[in-house]
Amino acid sequence: MAAPVDRVWTFLMDVPEMAGCIPGASDVRQLDATTYEAEVKAKIGPVSAAFGCTIAIVALDEAARAGVVEVRGKDAKIGGGVNARMSMELREDGGTTTVHVGSDIDVLGKIGQYGHGMIAKRAEAMLDDFAACVRARLES
């Protein structure tokens, strides 16, 4: 994105700010220095899920502009959840920043049975929406 790396990093590290770009996320609360809670709602066809999520920053390299986040989400109503481990690394190139994101996502329980093909597709679309939102916020 067309923004300097420091600006992108500051935004992504401000979890309540950053969560405003996650589709369906609300009620972000900080529990301690590296742990947060949030609710994430998602709807696929007739099925709506509301995940109570714990977000933990498990590794952070300020100098390398890299970090690893673990998300554990549970939907109590339907039964099931999502565990995700996401790594992120920022690289600067002449005033623009490339964000490299790696993710390993497990969908658990009944929600997983509903159709993992469609869930994977929706997860990709959510990541695209997130990226578009971050760009819109920072590229000004």
**Contact flag: residue 44 with another protein (CB under 8 A):** yes
Binders in 12-41 for another protein, by CB under 8 A: none
Q: Sign of the C-alpha dihedral, residues 15, 17, 21, 23?
A: positive
Residue placing its CB nearer to another protein in the complex, 77 or 93: 77
Contact 4, 95 (CB under 8 A): yes
Q: Which of 91, 15, 23, 12 is nearest to 54 (CA)?
A: 15
What is the rounded end-to-end Cα distance, in angstroms, of the chain?
Answer: 11
Any idea which residue has 């500051």 for tokens? 10
**Contact flag: residue 123 with another protein (CB under 8 A):** no
Minimum separation from the CB atom of position 106 to another protein (A): 14
The residue within the footprint of another protein, chosen from 29, 41, 91, 110 (CB under 8 A), is 110
Residues in contact with another protein by CB under 8 A are 44-47, 77-79, 110, 114-118, 120-121
